[in-house]
């Protein structure tokens, strides 16, 4: 018989951007997690000037539709932390599961600079899938290469993928 101390704690993480796409999440987590739909109240999902990924910040009337990646290991959570970098803060929030209306405590990534002038509008997942998903799948592969060889150039290569190409003059 195994006791709970034999297992590392599992983490549930609310995602609202590119990690909603199972192909991207699977690459970064190096497995396919169980994903459930959920809503996060009290936040707004913004576009970020010059970037292909969104951020969230507190907003009294905001509601964000997203997904919960369930049962993540400490290593998988560390992968997410590495991808999100220092511009996001991982916080515990409460979401409502879409199918059951059950409330659940999860972790999510909130934009550290809530007054960032680069935040604007509303980020659109369907538009992202159409225009940028393939680029993010490539970026995710670069991230895993970098993680396996941190002395290589992978982090810079990964960073290039998540920024918009500058307009051609």
CA distance 155 to 4: 36
* Residues near 6 by beta carbon (within 8 Å), at least 6 away in sequence: none
Nearest to 121 by CA among 42, 35, 62: 62
Contact 42, 60 (CB under 8 A): yes
What are the tokens at 103?
Answer: 């409330």
Phi, psi of 102 (to 5 degrees): -70, 140
- The DSSP element (H or E) to which 88 belongs, if any, is strand 88-97
The CA-atom distances, in angstroms, between 49 and each of 46, 95, 119, 120, 122 are 10, 27, 7, 8, 12
- Residues belonging to the active site: 84
């Amino acid at each position: 018989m195994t006791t709970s101390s034999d297992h590392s704690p599992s983490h549930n993480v609310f995602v609202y951007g590119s990690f909603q796409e199972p192909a991207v999440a699977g690459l970064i987590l190096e497995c396919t997690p169980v994903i459930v739909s959920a809503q996060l109240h009290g936040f707004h999902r913004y576009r970020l000037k010059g970037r292909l990924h969104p951020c969230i910040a507190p907003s009294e009337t905001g509601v964000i539709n997203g997904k919960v990646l369930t049962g993540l290991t400490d290593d998988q959570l560390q992968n997410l932390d590495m991808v999100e970098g220092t511009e996001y803060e991982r916080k515990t929030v409460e979401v409502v599961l879409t199918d059951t209306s059950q409330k659940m405590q999860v972790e999510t990534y909130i934009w550290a600079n809530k007054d960032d002038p680069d935040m604007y509008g509303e980020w659109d997942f369907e538009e992202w899938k159409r225009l940028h998903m393939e680029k993010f799948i490539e970026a995710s592969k670069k991230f895993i290469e970098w993680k396996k060889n941190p002395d290589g150039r992978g982090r810079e290569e990964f960073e290039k993928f998540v920024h918009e190409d500058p307009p051609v003059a």
